[in-house]
Structures are given as C-alpha cells and as structure tokens.
Amino acid sequence: MTVTAHPLVTRARELADGLLSPAAERVDQDGVPASHIEAIKHSGLLGLNAPVEYGGSAAPVAVVRETAEILAGACCSTWFVQTQHHTPVTTLTATGLPVRERLLGPLARGELLSGVAYAHLRSYPRLPVRVRRQADGWHFRGTVPWYTGWGLNDVMLLAGVTEDDEALFAFTEARKQPGLAVSEPMRLAALTASRTVSLRLDGLRVPEEAVALRLPFGDWAATDRPKTRNANPAVFGITSAALELVEEEYAAPLRLRLEGIRHRAYTLADHPVPHEHTEERLALREEAFTLMRTTTTAAVVSGGGRAMSVGNRAQRLAREGLSLLVQGQTGESRTAHLQRLAERPR
C-alpha cells in the first residue's frame, strides 16, 4: 500500500479538508475548539503510533510523517495540541510499568488526550523541575515553562529530575489540583489558540503507580538528543500549504526544492543509527526552515496588502512557521541554526 492510500492518511486528509483548513483562520483567533479535539479523538489518529493490541494502528513512520504534514498544513494550532499526545503514547508503549495497562488503551483509542511537560529537561544541568520521593509517592517542585493544551487534554505526562539524577516521567490529570498552579493562557505571536500555559509545581504528588519512565538522566538525554536534530514534518506541511497561495509559475521551482529537501531529510531520519550524521541532519533541519520561511514570504508577497489582515491565510502560515523555528530547540540546534544563518550568502 502506498503512503497516500493508507486509511489514516485518507482520514487526516478528510479531516483537514472538511474541518480544519476551512476553520483555521477563525481557530487561530478564537482558540482550538473542543469540537476539533473530539474530531481528532474519533479519527484514529491519536493511536497511530500505538500497538494494535491496545487499539492503535502501529502505522509505518512514513504514514506518521504524512499525517503530521497534512494536519500541520491545515491548522497548525490543532496539529500542535494533538502532537503532544504522541510522546506519552510511545513512552507507554516502551514501558513495562503498571501505568501502561491503565492508560495505553484509552490513549491509543482516543478516549483520552494527553499533553506533555518535559522539554524543560533539555535545559539540564539547570533543573526547572525537581522530583523527590516521599512515603506517599513522588513530589514535583518547580516551574514548567510551557504546557500546551490546558483545558483540552485530559492527562499530562510530567517530567522532572530526581535527587539521584534520574529523569522521571509520570502521568497526572490535566486539571487544577493541590500543588499545581496554572498561569493564564499565553498570548503568543502564533499558536495562542493552542492554550499554552506555564505550570507552577509546589509539591504536586504523583503516586508510584503513575510513573511511566525512570532512568539515569544521561541515558534519557542520549536517546532524546537525536530526536531534536531531524527536520520536523510540520515544517513541510506549512511549506506545502503556503505554496498553494503562490502562482504556479513561482510555486513550481519552490515545490521542487521542497521535494528535494524532504526526500533527503526523511532518508536521513530513517537511517538506522540515530546519533550518526549529526551535522547533516542539523543542516537539513535549517534548510527546511529556510525554505519554509521563503515560501511563507512568497505567500505574503503574493497576497499583497490583504495578506496583512488577521483573517488572511498567508500571514497565519508565516506566524505559525515562526513558532516552529523554536519548537524542540536545544542548545545544539540553536547554535547550528544561527551559524548557518550567519554563513549563508546574501
């Protein structure tokens, strides 16, 4: 079966064309509605990485990427809320701890939507969130600077660093509870619609049976680091959507560039050794960003003054593209990106 004929790709396309894309400018201004989340929950897309025996699809990686491109190109805010769910699913799939039996099925079948609060681990040795074991479970203290989907997702996978220098990930309900204070939703240059907040943890208690992952920080970092080096499929989704707003004579050469960069990026992402070819991966990540910025600029130029209206698609895509530049950013990718921007001729 080709990727485009896969049922999940067909479903993503139907959702994109029938619901997400027509509403995207309104959602950008008003927020992701609960009805969009219901549609995502019923689509089967939340289980695309999950094992079949838990109700998921265990879809090939090419299908995972294609659906991400389609959703991000249609409505980046909705894509962004639902994409947080996939790390909890893969974490549960990999664990042998009891929480797997409680949550993997509901997450795989789309009965529950999960958010995630772990990017702050990447600022190690700075420890924005610490976890301490006490008689009644694990207690989290500190600040989660970014948490997307507040009020939309049902549970969250929360991470911190223990006194023994372990990364600890555990599930808790995504609602106000003792030891958890939530900021107002942030007003952002883009993706305000994703209901992103910061979380203040003041002894939030999570029972032992909610722990999904606990391992030495260095071991966690070694598996996490390669994930932030590859180009994000959402970048190609925004690029494709922007190209639809540009006259064909100008879009055609940009589309050829898109196909070339995407092919090289995905070939490298499929390389069996994730920690090899670091420089090439980071270079392609930057090339993908640069092409995205070129195409969203072309879409704005093409639209003229109308493109500055807040209800216009071109400016929305340009803003959403900006936010992707810093998603999953690490010290390493930040430096590589800046170096290439500084070196680029013109």
Ligand X SMILES: Cc1cc2nc3c(=O)[nH]c(=O)nc-3n(C[C@H](O)[C@H](O)[C@H](O)COP(=O)(O)OP(=O)(O)OC[C@H]3O[C@@H](n4cnc5c(N)ncnc54)[C@H](O)[C@@H]3O)c2cc1C
Residues at the interface with ligand X (CB under 6 A) = 84, 115-119, 122-123, 145-148, 188, 191, 196, 323, 326-331, 334
Min dist CB 80 to ligand X, Å, is 7
Read off the DSSP letter of residue 173.
E
- Cis, bond preceding 185 (omega within 30 deg of 0): no
CB atoms within 10 A of CB 316: 27
Min dist CB 106 to ligand X, Å, is 20
CB of 6 or CB of 41, closer to ligand X: 41
Place of tokens 């797997």: 100
Cα–Cα nearest to 141, from 133, 150, 132, 149? 132
CB of 252 or CB of 326, closer to ligand X: 326
In whole angstroms, give the CA distance from residue 137 to residue 28: 40
Min dist CB 323 to ligand X, Å, is 6
In whole angstroms, give the CA distance from residue 259 to residue 318: 20
Min dist CB 71 to ligand X, Å, is 16
The β-bridge partners of 114 are 155
Min dist CB 45 to ligand X, Å, is 18
CB of 1 or CB of 189, closer to ligand X: 189
Min dist CB 116 to ligand X, Å, is 5
Min dist CB 143 to ligand X, Å, is 11
CB of 329 or CB of 339, closer to ligand X: 329
**Contact call for residues 123 and 161 (beta carbons, < 8 A):** no
CB of 58 or CB of 322, closer to ligand X: 322
Interior/surface letters 134-163, b for 16+ CB within 10 angstroms, e for the rest: eeeebbbbbebbebbbbebbbbbbbbbbbe
Q: Could you tell me the CA-to-CA distances from 196 to 30, 31, 323, 329 in Å, in that order?
A: 14, 11, 13, 17
Q: What length is written for the chain?
A: 346
CB of 55 or CB of 321, closer to ligand X: 321
Min dist CB 327 to ligand X, Å, is 5
In whole angstroms, give the CA distance from residue 257 to residue 234: 16
CB of 159 or CB of 269, closer to ligand X: 159
Contacts of 93 (CB under 8 A, 6+ apart): 49, 50, 51, 100, 104
CB atoms within 10 A of CB 25: 17
Cα–Cα nearest to 74, from 18, 118, 135? 18
CB of 147 or CB of 289, closer to ligand X: 147
CB of 84 or CB of 172, closer to ligand X: 84
Min dist CB 211 to ligand X, Å, is 18
